[in-house]
Amino acid sequence: MEDTFFKPEKEENEKLTPMMRQYKEIKDKYLDSILLFRMGDFYEAFFDDAKRLSQILNIILTKRANIPMAGVPHHAIHGYLSRLVKSGVKIAICEQMEDPKTAKGIVKRDVTQVITPGTISENRYLESKSNNYLASIIVSKSERKAAISLCDVSTGELYITEIENENLKELIDEIAEDIIRFSPKEIMTIDSVKESEIIKEIQKRFSKIFYSHTPDYTAEYSYAYKTLTNHFKTLSLKSFGIEDKPLLISLVGSTIHYISELQKNSLEHITEIKIYDKKNSMTLDYATISSLEILETIRNDNKKMTLFDTIDRTKTSMGARYLKRIIVEPLINIEEINKRLNNVEFFYKDTKLMYKIADLLADIGDIERLSSKLALGRINPKELVALKRFLILSLEIITELALNGFEEANFEEATDIKLITDLIERAILEEPKIVTNEGDIIKDDYNEQLKKYNEAKREGRNWISELEGNYRLDTGINSLKIRYNNVIGYYIEVTKPNVSAVPKDFIKRQTLVSAERFTTEKLIEYEKIINEANEKSCALEFEIFTKIKNKVNFYINSILKTAKIISIIDVYVSLASLAKEDNYTKPIMTEDGIIDIKDGRHPVVEANLINESFIPNDTYLDNDKEHLLIITGPNMSGKSTYLRQTALIVLLAQIGSFVPAASARISIVDRIFTRVGASDNIARGESTFLVEMNETAYILNRCTNKSLIIMDEIGRGTSTYDGLSIAWAIVEYLVGEENKKAKTLFATHYHELTMLEELDGVKNYKVSVEEYKDEIIFMKKVIEGSAESSYGIYAAKIAGAPNKVIKRASEILKRLENEASVQFDNIELNKSSEILPLYNNSNEEIIKESEIEKEIKELNINEITPIDAINLISKWKNYL
């Protein structure tokens, strides 16, 4: 029966039609979503949903019976859904649950899936090389403890952790660090927690993320416990390590409930809970990830200029996602790092095997996301055949590596995978249809009854062909044809000039401009046999395909383990290819506190140079004589590149990668901190300098003797003396404070700071510069010593500033430098861990009186001769 949405406009009180009432009943259950209501060939939205849909998709908003409406064709829904997902809205898909042609009354409809940014499972809406995490957060009543989970519905990954901290700000910072690390697309919590101080602060910091919530009862301990044991089909949660962790049970239980409610399907591909311990890996804060341009460039304008894109040689989406994960989670355990390095070296030493495996990997698709579609019941026949092909290739890779002695290729699930691939091979056609209810999916030989139906269909088609030939002979109409369409089925078509020759037993069906269409009792009989065989075969094929899906899904654990092994192998092969192609070397990992890099290079800058070679530099840092390097040199000379390349080389080493250097001895660091560049956060009322100070304070409060810090131009956002004083004090703090003596590269234009080389552990380095015929040549080589100038005026000159400005700037600079040298020569260095006050009790600056000032004050001008005066002036001039 055809649906009618609207009553005639003249109907009294414009009462709702039965279908409108159906829509309202369904919409009331999904008030926070845009409801896409299937009506025939369109998905329609009404009222405010229609207005939002029109605005987001830029489609026409219409009205009928004074009700706003907007719709999209069902055959193009995926393109529109992709745009809706990217806009960050929640979408409820309401489907027709029965055939409108056979429905009695209003067609039954129901929501089959709710899509949010963090619960998308369809690969077509997702970035292939990135995970799509839903973050869930639950906070204890005291707000001093939080549990966090990260779930990717598209791959089945589920990670959890618990954080406890009496300091609320530090607790929020730790939660924020996990959000930065995993980059979730959605953050979910329970109703009672969404107004907590922690969640409100997280929303301020990450305002672009989609936020959602679920009822409190889903996190109630006994309900959540039952949710998890039912999901994992276990009697307890001991095997997951959370049996005695009620906050984690509440968190994961509410998460599984939330996702299940949206997906309307089981989540069998979420097979385990992985507890991640932050102590096992290095935490990278937002400033470090951003400044080092690990995943995005600072301007976010060129992904090819990121560290990830530079080192990524993976062949599979799964491998790329795994590489992206480990690149922001550098290891801190020397055994685990060396294990990765040795696995990379395995492929590095056998180039032939490395490229053979790479070629095989290139033909493997996204097993993880196909597994997700399998578990959610959304995999189609073509995808199931593709899964078979990918699993066969995976077994080939694993077997090849096992034969070559690769220890990571220890794979117990090979038998399961062989059973899966054999089943799909026997049952499914190599080129099946995508849809599941139109036949042409299952091989004839797989099922005897299906074989009979298909033979009947083939025989019927032969009958039709034979009948067509007989009718041509009987009528003498050589152009007579028997054809088929979905509307009237089989028919006999005769052109107009030949209609007079049509026998009387032909039954007329249609009249066209140039032809007449007929049928016969015999054709109707054949059609009935063919249609019956076709209907039964399609139904049987659908039934068989569903059973095969379920059988394959039974081995979902083995499939996911295969996917994980392949992703890890892909990363090892990728890193080995990178090392071989870009001349990287295996670092020697230690815990002796020494970082010694020979001819180090910036991986991204080097990869993007076109007509010039990268100039390498050495770096030496230790825990004793050289743990803080003050680096001076002009702008554009390569200071920032040098700082960043050192941090990136250490980071690469600790993810288990070879590094761009002639040699590298890397002592493991517990954190990498960066404070470089200028940025602001106007939305939160933070100036560039306040952001700089926030980041600096964060580093100073969290660094340890085992950390690596790179600081570039600290203090440049305020007045000269303010900035210089802050920079000076920071150096003293990092040198003198116990447990804060981090290995530090400190680039600065404050040349006065080079005086601090007298402090234990401080050493001056500079970027060498050559002057030739009024031209400045930046050598981009870092050597011992301190720069004599920042060449800022030279930069203004080559930029085209007026000569008058350049000349005057030179005069002012000379005078300021003369005056400043006297003042800073007399600041007393703080060589202890005790912090010296900026001012004494009398509010006078602690600056020693210079020898000249002292001599002038004590001088009695009435007792000296003009010659004495000239000699004194000459003496002071020489001194200055």
- Binding residues are 633-640
With CA atoms as reference, report the closest residue to 290 among 683, 619, 679, 696.
Answer: 679
**φ/ψ of residue 837, rounded to 5:** -70, 150
User: Which tokens in the block code for residue 456?
Assistant: 């009947």
| Cα within 13 Å of Cα(280), Cβ side | 7
With CA atoms as reference, report the closest residue to 168 among 146, 189, 190, 193.
Answer: 146
Instruction: Convert 525-557 to b/e letters by CB count within 10 Å (16 or more is b).
Output: ebbeebeebbebbbebbbebbeebbeebbebbb
Tell me the torsion sign for CA atoms 437, 440, 443, 447: positive
- Residue partners of 789: CB distance under 8 A and separation at least 6: 634
SS (H, E, C) 481-507: EEEEECCCEEEEEEEHHHHHHCCCCCE
For 546-609, the DSSP string reads HHHHHHHHTTHHHHHHHHHHHHHHHHHHHHHHHHHHHT-BPPEEESSS-EEEEEE--HHHHHH-
With CA atoms as reference, report the closest residue to 338 among 13, 654, 29.
Answer: 654
For 627-687, the DSSP string reads SEEEEE--TTSSHHHHHHHHHHHHHHHHTT--BSSSEEEEE--S-EEEE-S---BGGGTB-
| Cα within 13 Å of Cα(233), Cβ side | 6
Question: Do residues 592 and 707 lie in contact, with contact meaning Cβ atoms separated by under 8 Å?
Answer: no
Query: C-alpha distances in angstroms, 723 versus 712, 717, 759?
Result: 12, 7, 20
- Residue partners of 211: CB distance under 8 A and separation at least 6: 186, 187, 188, 189, 194, 203
Please tell me the distance from the alpha carbon of residue 34 to that of residue 81, in angstroms, as a whole number.
11
Query: C-alpha distances in angstroms, 567 versus 309, 364, 573, 592, 852?
Result: 17, 10, 10, 33, 71
- Residue partners of 205: CB distance under 8 A and separation at least 6: 176
Label residue 840 exposed, middle or buried (CB < 10 Å: 0-12, 13-18, 19+): exposed
Binding-site residues for ATP, in ranges, read: 633-640
Query: C-alpha distances in angstroms, 535 versus 1, 104, 458, 483, 547?
Result: 21, 21, 14, 19, 19
State which H helix or E strand residue 204 sits in: helix 197-205
Largest CA distance in the chain: 148
Question: Do residues 575 and 344 lie in contact, with contact meaning Cβ atoms separated by under 8 Å?
Answer: yes
Q: What angle do CA 504, 506, 509 make, to 5 degrees?
A: 130
- Residue partners of 139: CB distance under 8 A and separation at least 6: 145, 146, 189, 193, 196, 198, 199
Long-range contacts of 418-421 (CB under 8 A, 24+ apart): 419/555, 420/388, 420/391, 420/552, 420/555, 420/558, 420/559, 421/388, 421/391, 421/392, 421/395
Please tell me the distance from the alpha carbon of residue 28 to that of residue 367, in angstroms, as a whole number.
38
Label residue 317 exposed, middle or buried (CB < 10 Å: 0-12, 13-18, 19+): buried
Token pair 């530079």 is found at 310
Please tell me the distance from the alpha carbon of residue 792 to that of residue 787, in angstroms, as a whole number.
13
